[in-house]
Amino acid sequence: MESSDTNMLAGIPTLDIQSFIQGSEKEKKEFASALGQAYETIGFAAIHGHGIPDELIAKLYSESESFFALPREIKQKYARPEANNQRGFVSMGIEHAKDSKAADLKEFWQVGQPNPPQDFEAEHFPPNEAVAERPEFQSTAVEAFEALELLGIHMLRAIAIHLKIDEFYFDSWVKGGNSILRAIHYPPIVDEPDSAVRAGQHEDINLITLLVGASAAGLEVLRHDNQWIPITALPEHIVVNVGDMLQRLTNHRLKSTTHRVVNPPRSEWSKPRFSMPFFCHPQPEMRLDAMPHLVPEGSQPVDPPISAGAYLEQRLKEIGLAK
């Protein structure tokens, strides 16, 4: 078993998750330490050895491309604004970055928890949508959702070790949590855009985000020296970054890094871009109050206390998905 590979890929560390899942105690601690260092500095890491089949990822991309190629009126049948746009189709012009009025140049499909907890509240776990025109789209997405949820749990176990809390602290919150798998389509750019970005600079809402590749370059991360650096992972890598919920829990010890998706050079405007982020959320009842041992004695937490459900609702309103 190889120990964690901390080589840098496009400015972020690359790590082998198998050294954590199947490694010795020493290798697990080394992985957790390297991951924690990445999340205390840049907030991003590229993960390989994750075990999610290439065929599943390829099929998810293929099914997504086929869905987004459907006529707009068919896609619009699957819009679910009454569910805060947390399921089904979300058209261009709806989502925008927090504190920005410019809508992102994207449309997307949202898949939520297929295995909600017992006695769940319907408002937090609306049903997923099946696409009659693409009968394998939803089943493929659910299979990918379950694989990514499991990978997210392994990542959070490593984070827990780094934070010196119980390794399985996050397990019961994330299993059956309010996670979202989002299939994003950034269409070809046909007119001079109002903005230079396909997705405005933002921080993710959730605990961690797992990005399953992208069909074109464009993702950029803002370093602490205020320099934007491009992130282009290899096909076998999954890029995992910290979200605001984990930043709040850790009293900002782990960094929810600002990132964006920029427009391609004019010569590549005709090319669409596809992306598949998995937003790993806990169950709504989880508290996001700063962990006491991460708040220096005599000081107050950076953020006020709040539940994951209330925080999600607040943020969905800020980005235009909820009313």
- Taken in order of first residue, the domains within the chain and their CATH numbers are 53-318 (2.60.120.330)
In the sheet that holds 238-242, the strands lie side by side as 8-9, 12-16, 44-48, 238-242, 208-214, 273-280, 180-186, 107-111, 88-90
Q: What's the confidence (pLDDT) of residue 102? A: 64
Q: E-strand spans in the chain?
A: 8-9, 12-16, 44-48, 88-90, 107-111, 180-186, 197-202, 208-214, 219-222, 228-230, 238-242, 259-262, 273-280
Confidence band for 97, pLDDT divided at 50, 70 and 90 = low
Q: Pairing between strand 219-222 and 228-230?
A: antiparallel
pLDDT value at position 209?
A: 95
**Cα–Cα distance between 182 and 244 in angstroms, integer?**
18
| 57, two tokens | 């990822």
| pLDDT value of position 155 | 98
Phi (first) and psi of residue 206, to 5 degrees: -85, -170
Question: Is the per-residue pLDDT at 197 higher than 70?
Answer: no
In angstroms, the CA 257 to CA 152 distance is: 18
Residue 40 burial by Cβ neighbours in a 10 Å radius (0-12, 13-18, 19+): middle
Q: What is the pLDDT of residues 207-243, one digit of tens each?
A: 999 998 755 577 888 877 788 888 776 778 899 999 9
> Can you tell me the distance from the alpha carbon of 305 to that of 274, in angstroms, rounded to the nearest whole number?
36
Whole-angstrom distance, CA of residue 204 vs CA of residue 173: 18
Task: Scan for tokens 């991003």, then name that residue.
Answer: 44
Quick check: 96 pLDDT over 80?
no
pLDDT tens by residue, 106-119: 899 999 999 998 88
Instruction: Tell me if 58 sits within 8 A of 66, measured CB to CB.
Output: no
